[in-house]
Chain A
């Protein structure tokens, strides 16, 4: 009996030796709700000649809902419950829409949720996952499997060190991107000006910290 278990464990180890890192990493990233993290999100768009940045708090509630609370430069709450997104912006009436309408958003949120739960299975259902780097400086790259999602979302890159994700980057096929830096109180803590290359470098840990 014991022998069988040992053999089984050995086989599993051999088969997944290359990925062992990923499973362990995901396990370390798990955060039980409720959990709150400060964030700064920087948006790069072809419509804009310089990026825009907002900062606030990300909350993972006990009922599984995700809340993105923008505090600066204006107030806006976005709540994700199941498949429905409710956006409540100061000065206008609340709007809601379904994740079906925004595949890139679904991609980002489902990967985000899976990371919070350490749910590798669900991650690999939607994405091809590659893990690079070391425990101290790691990077998870997610490429969508779904063709429809691929048209809207190129890759999701999660950079971090040890048990902390640092940046969540969404690259869109048209070159637009948004970078969410976690555990950061305001844009001033990020490299100035908010050039894409320097922010990417900051995320991968080349400067600061």
Chain B
């Protein structure tokens, strides 16, 4: 091939990559909902669980602390921050414990008579009004008179105040300067609910920015700082840290890779050419995934590029076997059966992930299969014409020759392989420690310090238990509200018995329509009320006619239609009721959240007595879900292993050869599993993906070693290729293993251990017995 045609081909290839890259960049939507990597729900309860995890109030809740200066400026800032955030689009609601009457919009003011429980217990008759007015006189004579005076003509029974107080959480932190503070009195505490779901790092990022901007603009002392805790804040933090660290380690790895390739091939063009199949693979994978799924998850991208790292090995086999006088096209033709077997079997194995039931893994599977296929095909058809026909013959290397002889001289203890395998299986089988990480949180690990801080903060704030929830199902909103309200007496008994510190449900804010209508009917008509009021005011110093606006409000309340969940839009109650009462698949669900639940068994009789009430243990349910997901993934992997063995068998057509090729990677998988377990690591999805990658690498090493079995020169070239491949992979993943982030560390450790083990075992086990004539 002439230089001109070579140049042309290279230009066309790079141009094609440019166009593909541009198209991908234009159409690529990177999603970030971590639930894509969580199992798909099977039962309504699991669906509710995933909803709660991603969208529920607990996931949207941010716990805020303001600290760093004197409590008074922290309190002032807390108040100003609440005012600022209430105006922002990013937050559904925010509170610092201050019960402000201004929170209630004017059009709802008359509703206080339908929402407050006063009318359930008393009638608005003369004696009730007299007792109330008597109290008000005392209020007026107290130093707090100024607080109430403006409200009294309109609301002499202080119904509004009672409502505002009843809407406060049952368990509250201490109030200093009227806002929540921690028990030491140093930090002002607030609770905010974001509009974005907790596991939407982008939405949470925006919310976090808004939060800090609002804080910076209202801060009353320069020393004050604002900290946010909660699932949303964590997802922002983890995304930042993962991205940052992956980038840092990635650049280090890239630099190391360049040095390694330059040492191995001593040629800059080869270095550049070696990248082309990998880049093609990445872009093709992205294009296919975004065509099939519409969006690509951020994790798919990260994992995908990790997994197609195998593709980096393909051109290296070509380069290591290249020597002076050999047409690279002949070279690749000779290598192709082995390379194709590796590509095909790995691809077939990844297809198994399509059936894992996890959408993220299905994306990953499509990405990897497309990527690897493209990398294999470009290495076969596009790369060879570009490779210089010169090149050092790796077979001439004295060093490699000696090394190979050394290796050939090693004993081949087949019995040792069997023993190690049995030892590993026995160890994994007999160990009392669970092999798997069942917590859903294991998928998105957050540093322990932050979790502990969050837990302490939740305790201070009396925030609802994140583990247990009572779930009420009903055919409509009213049935659910009635059910929730019906639980009050029993729950109050539990609170009195100290089995529970507090509870919350939608009926605390929004009584049933029937209840509201009952109260409305209990309101006296204007004439009767006026007479009772006049009688009550006799002998009292109140100016006559001073309560005219009270009479008007009661009369207005008598004409009001009852409030339903839909009528709350735009009110401070909307967010609170929405998160506790919602429609799902045509029926309504109500949640009862609990604070300080000591003994979940105490709730058992509530659940048994009532129909349509279940106790949801989010921890148990999520662990079940994860275990179920894992079972399914393991079945997929088993299927993948069978398919892979089948492809290898079809390619090699010799049971002994197939055994020699598959033994190293099978044994490696066992050894790495046992090593991780002994090291105290609980296995998660990340480890499984890493193990699959390691197995794919091991298969390639074994295939090439097996191919080179009889020819000393080929043996050295193969040794060169596999050394370069495994060293580069080892370097990249050993760097990842240094990461402080559990995800990166898990993948790094597993793959690094797998590479070493695969390399050693491939060398020891894949030479056909007795035929390694060289050196004997």
Contact = CB atoms under 8 A, between A and B. Distances in A.
Interface of A: 41, 43, 45-54, 68, 70, 74, 76, 78, 83-85, 87, 89, 92, 96-102, 104-105, 108-109, 152, 172, 176, 178
A178 B541 contact: no
B98 to A, nearest CB: 9
A48 B137 CA distance: 9
B145 interface: yes
B402 to A, nearest CB: 83
A54 B141 contact: yes
Given A47-B152, A49-B542, A52-B541, A98 B143 contact: no
B600 interface: no
A45 B142 contact: no
Nearest to A180: B143
B149 A176 contact: yes
A101 B147 contact: yes
Contact of A100 (B143, B149, B178): B178
B176 A96 contact: no
Contact of B144 (A50, A74, A87, A152): A87
A76 B143 CA distance: 11
B153 interface: yes
B179 to A, nearest CB: 8
B140 A101 contact: no
B262 to A, nearest CB: 69
Interface in B166-212: 175-178
B147 A47 contact: no
A76 B140 CA distance: 13
B142 A87 contact: yes
In this complex, the member of B142, B149, B541, B543 whose beta carbon has the largest number of chain A beta carbons within 10 angstroms is B142
B467 interface: no
A2 B363 CA distance: 92
A97 B542 contact: no
Contacts of B176: 83-84, 98
A196 to B, nearest CB: 14
Contacts, number: 78
What range describes how many residues of B lie at the interface? 20 to 34
17 contacts: A47-B140, A47-B153, A47-B546, A51-B541, A68-B143, A70-B142, A76-B138, A76-B142, A78-B142, A83-B176, A84-B175, A85-B144, A98-B177, A98-B178, A100-B75, A109-B143, A176-B149
A70 B486 CA distance: 42
8 closest Cβ pairs, A-B complex: A98-B178, A49-B543, A48-B541, A50-B541, A98-B177, A54-B141, A104-B146, A105-B143
Contacts of B178: 97-98, 100-101
Contact of B541 (A41, A49, A109): A49
Contacts of B542: 47-49
In this complex, the member of B143, B149, B153, B176 whose beta carbon has the largest number of chain A beta carbons within 10 angstroms is B143
Interface in B32-77: 72, 75
A15 B143 CA distance: 38
A74 B138 contact: yes
B550 to A, nearest CB: 12
B175 A43 contact: no
A167 to B, nearest CB: 16
Contacts of B144: 85, 87, 97, 102, 105
A47 B546 CA distance: 6
A70 B140 CA distance: 13
B142 A172 contact: no
Contacts of A89: 138
Nearest to A98: B178
A45 B146 contact: no
Contacts of A172: 146
Nearest to A48: B541
Given A68-B143, A85-B144, A152-B146, 16 more contacts: A43-B140, A43-B145, A47-B543, A48-B140, A48-B541, A48-B542, A50-B541, A70-B142, A78-B142, A78-B143, A83-B177, A97-B144, A98-B175, A102-B146, A105-B144, A109-B143
A102 B143 contact: yes
Contacts of A102: 143-144, 146-147
Nearest to A104: B146
Contacts of B541: 48-52
A45 B153 CA distance: 12
A43 B147 contact: no
Nearest to B179: A98
Interface string B320-363: 00000000000000000000000000000000000000000000
Contacts of A50: 541
Contacts of B153: 47
A23 to B, nearest CB: 28
A174 B380 CA distance: 92
B467 to A, nearest CB: 32
A52 B141 contact: yes
A51 B542 CA distance: 9
Interface string B141-166: 11111110100110000000000000
A14 to B, nearest CB: 38
A48 B138 contact: no
Contacts of A78: 142-143
A114 B147 CA distance: 23
Contacts of B135: 92
Given A52-B140, A102-B144, A47 B149 contact: yes
Nearest to B143: A105
B531 to A, nearest CB: 20
B158 to A, nearest CB: 11
A100 B177 contact: yes
A39 to B, nearest CB: 12
A48 B136 CA distance: 11
Contacts of A43: 140-141, 145
Nearest to A41: B141
Contacts of A100: 75, 177-178
A43 B141 CA distance: 6
A176 B140 CA distance: 11
Nearest to B543: A49
A167 B146 CA distance: 20
A87 to B, nearest CB: 7
B602 to A, nearest CB: 27
Contacts of B146: 102, 104-105, 152, 172
A79 to B, nearest CB: 11
Contacts of B543: 46-49
